[in-house]
Amino acid sequence: MIEVKADSLETSFSGVEMGGAVVRPLLSGARDGGATAFAGFLRSGTSVEMKSFTGVTGDSGGYAIPKEIDAVVDATLKSISPIRAIANVVKVGSAGYRKLVTSGGTPSGWAAETDARPGTATPSYAEIAPPMGELYANPSASQAMLDDALFDVEGWLAGEIATEFARAEGAAFVNGSGTARPKGFLQAPVAATNDTARAFGTLQYLASGAAGDFAANPQDRLIDLVQSLRGPYRQNASWVMNSATLARIRKFKTTDGAFLWVPGLAAGQPATLLGYPVIEAEDMPDIAANALAIAFGDFRAGYLIAERSETAILRDPYSNKPFVNFYATKRVGGCVSNSEAIKLMRFSAN
C-alpha cells in the first residue's frame, strides 16, 4: 500500500520536472526571452547593455535606433515621399556638407602638327551647400499599452516615425523655404532663357500658352518641354506632377486617337508619358495661373538630399504621464544641385 502512494507522488513530481503545462500568470521579470533588449527599453526604460544599440547621440541624450528599425523607416519613406526615390541621396556626418559642380567643360582647340599650343581656359566651379534642418517626430503611447506583451513596439514606432518624416520631407523637397529645412526645387529662381544664357542655379520654365490652362495642342507643349532638356539628362528623366494634373494629361490624345499616357504593362513598372516615367507628388501645385505644376528632368543629377545616417530617439516617460513620448530626430537637407537637369512648365501665356 505504501509503495502505491509513493509511486503516485513520484509521478506527480515528474510532471513538474518535465515541464508539464502549468497555468499560472507570467511574472514581470520572466518575460519571453525572444523580446529584444531594445523592446524592453521602450516598454520599461530599464538599463540595457550598450551593444544592443548602434550608438549614442550625445547632443539629444537618446539612443540611436537599431538598424532593423532604421531600415524599415527608409523603405517606407521611398513609397510615401517620391522625390527621395528619384533624387541623389547622400549620407553625411555633419551639417557642413558641400558639393562642387563644374559649369561647362574644359575648352579645347584645333592645331596643325607644328602649330603652337596656347593655354586653354579652365572650367569654373560652383559650390552647393544644401540647407539643413532637423526633422522630428514625437509620437506617444500609454504605459499600459506598452506593458502589453502582444504589442509590437518596434513596428508601431517605425510606422509612426516613417509617416511623419515622409509627410514633412516630401513637402520640403518640393516647396521647402530653405530656412531650417531643405529648399524645394520649386523655390529656386526661374527664367525662360535656355542653358547657355541662364545663370547657374536658375531653372528654365516653358509656358503652357495660356494663363492657368493648356493652350491648343497641349501635347506639343509637353514635347517642347521634353526636348528642352539636353540629351544626357533625358536618359534618366521623369515627370513629376500631382494626381489632379495627371488626370488632365491622361485624357490627351494624338491626332490619330492614341493616348499620350501609357499605363505600366507589368507589375512594378511605372506608367509613362511620351516614353518617360511619371512620378505622382501630391505636394506639386494644381494647374492655376502662373503655377509651376509640371516638372521634368533627371532629379538624380538635379536635386541633392543630404541626411545623417542614423535616426536618434529619446524615451520620455515623465513629461506627459501616463503617456510615454518617443522623441525622434533626423537631420535632412536638400537643394537643386544642377539647374540644367530640371525643367518646369509654367501655366502662363508666356
pLDDT digits (tens), the chain, 350 positions: 445 555 555 555 455 555 555 454 544 444 455 555 666 666 665 544 444 333 444 344 445 555 666 777 777 777 788 899 999 999 888 777 888 887 666 778 889 988 998 888 887 788 888 999 998 888 888 887 777 746 677 677 778 888 888 888 999 999 999 999 999 999 999 999 998 888 889 999 999 999 999 988 888 999 999 999 999 999 999 999 999 999 999 988 877 778 888 887 776 777 899 989 999 999 999 999 999 999 999 999 999 999 987 777 888 888 888 888 888 888 899 999 999 999 999 999 98
Same domain as 323, residue 270: no
Burial class (CB in 10 A: 0-12, 13-18, 19+), 208: buried
Give domain status of residue 33, yes or no: no
Same domain as 173, residue 309: yes
Give domain status of residue 21, yes or no: no
Same domain as 276, residue 137: no
Same domain as 244, residue 267: yes
Give domain status of residue 80, yes or no: yes
Give domain status of residue 175, yes or no: yes
Q: Which of 195, 181, 143 is nearest to 338 (CA)?
A: 195
Helix (H, G, I), strand (E, B) or coil at 101: strand
Same domain as 251, residue 198: yes
Same domain as 239, residue 165: no
pLDDT value, residue 348: 93
Q: Which amino acid is at 179?
A: T
Map grid coordinates 507570467 to a residue.
26
pLDDT value, residue 5: 53
Give domain status of residue 25, yes or no: no
Give domain status of residue 117, yes or no: no
Q: How far apart are CA 19 and CA 27, in angstroms?
A: 17
Same domain as 171, residue 316: yes
Same domain as 315, residue 171: yes
Residue 68 φ then ψ, to 5°: -60, -45
Number of compact structural domains in the chain = 2
CATH of the domain at 278: 3.30.2320
Same domain as 142, residue 197: no
Give domain status of residue 137, yes or no: yes
Give domain status of residue 171, yes or no: yes
pLDDT value, residue 28: 46
CATH of the domain at 60: 3.30.2400.10
Same domain as 242, residue 310: no
Same domain as 59, residue 173: yes
Same domain as 172, residue 270: no
pLDDT value, residue 69: 67
Contact by Cβ (8 Å): 276, 226: yes
Q: How far apart are CA 35 and CA 159, in angstroms?
A: 19
Residue 246 φ then ψ, to 5°: -65, -35
Domain carrying residue 199? 188-299+340-346
Q: Which distant-in-sequence residues (6+ apart) come within 8 Å of 100 by Cβ? A: 125, 126, 127, 128
Q: How far apart are CA 192 and CA 207, in angstroms?
A: 8
pLDDT value, residue 289: 94
